[in-house]
Amino acid sequence: MMPKNAIIVGGTSGIGLATAKLFLEKGINVAVIGRDVQKANAAQDELMAHSTEHATVRSFSGDASDYATIAAIYEQLMESWETLDILVHVAGISGRRWGDGPLHECTVEGWNMVMNNNLNSVYYSNQLALRIMKKQQFGAIVNISSILGMLGTQDHFTTHAYAASRGAVISMSRSAAVYYAKDGIRINTVCPGLLDTPMSQRAVTNDEIRDALTFYQPLAPHVGYPQDVAAAIAFLASDEAKFITGIALPVDGGWLAQ
């Protein structure tokens, strides 16, 4: 049996990097895409330790919010891959430093920056993958959203452009899952709670927020890790989930359950 091939957009750190390691250990060829050249090179070196003769890794640097850049990477990969079996889209930003916040304070720059990176980029990667998978008549897509796309919050997590972008990813994925089911393509979303990742350091290092997490995420240790989400992604991308499509799976320590 030929090994599967997976693209991970945003695969050079955090959730994406943890997922890439897990895929390689399962014998899946992986291509990771990250914005920063140095991080892409470092991820390549780190992932080589997990690669085998049956599962290889390639890394690319490129802006996920630039359609032409991502399209060129897909084209390059498909010159050597016979199939694209899995797409995982992790790439996204926290827009607070760009002006995201409560809706009456959110700047136009912050709104547009978040939507471009968190929603447009998912549209780009998904469209390119679906054009390949539709011809194949099979494939699995897992998009990363957030628990903040599923519920409202007060106080610590009032970034409304971010919440809107993450909710839109869920809606797009769910609608597309129904439409492309006839083509043998499954599309699911994973919605993490607060994780200890590079993007979340402002929150996870804030003592007040860490205290609040004992309420928000009652399951100890009250903060999640990239490996927790990687395991959920790997399941949804696998043949074990062959009858699952269109779901938004919380990995949130119990946040949504309250």
Question: What's the CATH number where 201 sits?
Answer: 3.40.50.720
Q: In the prediction, which pLDDT does 209 show?
A: 85
Radius of gyration of the chain (CA): 18
Let me know if residue 257 belongs to a domain.
Answer: no
pLDDT for residue 42: 93
Q: 74 catalytic, yes or no?
A: no
Q: What is the pLDDT along the chain (258 residues), one digit of tens a residue?
A: 789 999 999 999 999 999 999 999 999 999 999 999 999 999 999 999 888 778 999 999 999 999 999 999 999 999 999 999 999 999 999 999 999 999 999 999 999 999 999 999 999 999 999 999 999 999 999 999 999 999 998 778 899 999 999 999 999 999 999 999 999 999 999 999 999 887 778 777 888 888 888 999 999 999 999 999 999 999 999 999 999 999 999 999 999 998
Residue 183 belongs to some domain of the structure: yes
Is the residue at 174 inside a domain?
yes
pLDDT of residue 152: 92
**Residue 258 included in any domain:** no
Would residue 256 count as lying in a domain?
no
Q: Which domain range does residue 68 map to?
A: 5-251
Name the domain count of the chain.
1
What does the pLDDT read at residue 1? 72
Residue 43, domain member (yes or no): yes
Active-site hit among 74, 124, 162, 180: 162
Q: Is 231 part of any domain?
A: yes
